[in-house]
């Protein structure tokens, strides 16, 4: 057995430790979005594969027998490539995916299907926006330059931000509700834009928004073809034939 673990999430890191503890031969793959990814207890590669063809070649060269996709729910291109490469090579694929967030009493959420739709949902009058979406799609918000944008980034920007009125905060999660209550209050945030990533590591901003009664524009997850999806590390280990022990 040799496993390709497509990572980048908290769950992927936890699974990496579980595999390492069992002596499973596996390679952890980062997309390379951050300059200082978290160290893993498995052999690690960083960067893309070169599309579907490159991934197929890599799977065959590395004698991969199983693929576990534990990427971010919004890493749609990588997930699609993994699904296609799995079909071409007949290497079985399992997706480890955390459930999406669901609104609770007191939440004021507006669901939108895309980042472009999130831009459109912003008001015309100037306001103070917390953009909790990373840096890849920031240029889209340049069409609404009247707003003040607060950005929370893992790495400091290496080029000028594409927004005329933006303030970056460099920090790596997970964050507590107290952290985000202070952040939102200190910066007088009036609206939040976030991706429905699910999980607990980034949920604090939604709890803080609920307490402060700040509306949230929530970007829905991309739609992907039917895949074999599980929600726990225990289920992944069972699929791989390494049942979980006490403490996983």
Tokens of 115: 């980042």
Look at residue 102 and tell me whether its pLDDT is greater than 60: yes
Provide CATH 3.40.50.720 ranges for the chain. Answer: 3-99+223-239, 109-219
Per-residue pLDDT, 29: 97
Query: What are 66's strand-pairing partners?
Result: 3
pLDDT, mean over the chain: 93
Do 7 and 244 meet the contact criterion of CB atoms below 8 Å apart?
no
What is d(CA 63, CA 84) in angstroms, rounded to the nearest whole number? 17
The H or E element containing residue 168 is strand 166-170
Look at residue 246 and tell me whether its pLDDT is greater than 60: no
Look at residue 215 and tell me whether its pLDDT is greater than 90: yes
- What fold is seen in the domain 109-219? Rossmann fold (3.40.50)
Q: How many CB atoms lie within 10 A of CB 43?
A: 11
Compute the C-alpha angle 223/228/232, nearest 5°.
100
β-strand pairing of 66-69 with 128-132: unpaired
Instruction: Determine the CATH number of domain 3-99+223-239.
Output: 3.40.50.720
Look at residue 142 and tell me whether its pLDDT is greater than 90: yes
Look at residue 197 and tell me whether its pLDDT is greater than 80: yes
Residue 97 CA: distances (Å) to CA of 10, 53, 172, 188: 11, 25, 21, 33
Per-residue pLDDT, 35: 64
Average pLDDT over residues 174-184: 94
pLDDT class of 61 with cuts at 50, 70, 90: very high
């Amino acid at each position: 057995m040799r496993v390709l673990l497509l990572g980048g999430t908290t769950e992927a890191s936890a699974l990496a430790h579980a595999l390492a503890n069992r002596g499973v031969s596996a390679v952890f793959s980062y997309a390379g979005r951050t300059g200082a990814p978290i160290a893993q207890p498995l052999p690690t590669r960083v960067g893309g594969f070169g599309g579907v063809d490159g991934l197929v070649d890599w799977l065959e060269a590395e004698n991969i027998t199983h693929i576990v996709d534990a990427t971010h729910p919004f890493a749609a291109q990588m997930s699609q490539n993994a699904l296609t490469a799995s079909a071409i090579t007949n290497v079985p694929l399992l997706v480890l995916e955390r459930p999406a967030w669901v609104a609770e009493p007191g939440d004021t959420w507006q669901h939108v299907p895309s980042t472009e739709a999130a831009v459109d949902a912003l008001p015309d009058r100037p306001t103070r926006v917390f953009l909790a979406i990373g840096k890849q799609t920031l240029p889209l918000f340049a069409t609404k330059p009247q707003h003040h944008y607060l950005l929370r980034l893992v790495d400091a920007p290496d080029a000028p931000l594409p927004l005329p009125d933006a303030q970056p905060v460099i920090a790596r999660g997970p964050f507590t509700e107290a952290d985000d209550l202070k952040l939102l209050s200190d910066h007088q945030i009036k609206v939040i834009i976030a991706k429905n990533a699910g999980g607990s590591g980034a949920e604090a901003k939604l709890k803080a928004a609920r307490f402060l009664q700040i509306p949230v524009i929530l970007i829905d997850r991309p739609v992907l073809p039917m895949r074999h999806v599980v929600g726990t590390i225990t289920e992944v280990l069972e699929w791989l034939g390494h049942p979980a022990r006490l403490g996983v």
